[in-house]
Chains A and B, each alone.
Chain A
Amino acid sequence: DTAVSQTPKYLVTQMGNDKSIKCEQNLGHDTMYWYKQDSKKFLKIMFSYNNKELIINETVPNRFSPKSPDKAHLNLHINSLELGDSAVYFCASSQDLPGGIGNTIYFGEGSWLTVV
């Protein structure tokens, strides 16, 4: 059973389209995240939700809108896709705060988005 699962794994789409990536975790965690890994392999946090509430919103264009229908799901919707949005998007979850004493973050396998 996959702990954090994302769909789709691969997505090729044209500029200007709107697309969504879905994420589900079956770990019973309270906190979920979206990370973006660009072509230079830098991994940056985009959003974090705790108990369905947005707690981190990094400097991300408002074309990106996360939605958390319940604690187990965090979806990422992207409007008006641009070439620069091409990246690998990772969903992750943790039991409350990941830092400090070590609540581990569990990552999904990634969604490879290519905008053409």
Chain B
Amino acid sequence: DAKTTQPNSMESNEEEPVHLPCNHSTISGTDYIHWYRQLPSQGPEYVIHGLTSNVNNRMASLAIAEDRKSSTLILHRATLRDAAVYYCIPSPSGTYKYIFGTGTRLKVLA
């Protein structure tokens, strides 16, 4: 299983972009990179995923390094509701087992 390294915590001002980094240097060639977040007192929720190309959806963008050893989740305009723990999860195809690391706790300042 690929290991991940994420900052324990980050802060952002409201309405500003946030870049949440993740190192996954042991990722294998077929592992997708999934991002989930966990809002306070809730279960984790899906944010975005990708393999090699950068990806965009209504919640965020995912920038994947060319060597795939790192990725960055980008929230274009952070809101107070984005305060959560963000998890980066390299996920092999064909597995039932997601391994959640310690994640990054994002604090958004009004």
Contacts and interface: CB of A to CB of B under 8 A. Distances in A.
B25 interface: no
Nearest to B96: A48
Contacts of B46: 104-106
A38 B30 CA distance: 31
A41 B94 contact: no
Given A41-B85, A107-B44, A108-B43, A102 B34 contact: yes
Contacts of B44: 43, 90, 105, 107
Interface in A8-27: none
Contacts of B99: 45
A42 B38 CA distance: 12
Nearest to A99: B91
Contacts of A42: 100, 102
Interface residues of B, number: 26
A82 interface: no
Nearest to A40: B102
A48 B95 CA distance: 11
A45 B97 contact: yes
Given A92-B43, A108-B43, A97 B96 contact: yes
Interface string B87-110: 100011111111110100000000
Interface of B: 30-32, 34, 36, 38, 41-46, 49, 85, 87, 91-100, 102
Given A43-B44, A106-B46, A109-B42, 17 more contacts: A4-B43, A33-B96, A41-B102, A42-B100, A43-B38, A48-B96, A90-B43, A97-B96, A98-B95, A99-B94, A100-B92, A100-B93, A101-B32, A105-B98, A107-B42, A107-B45, A109-B43
12 contacts: A56-B97, A97-B93, A98-B98, A99-B32, A99-B93, A99-B94, A100-B32, A100-B92, A102-B34, A105-B44, A105-B98, A107-B44
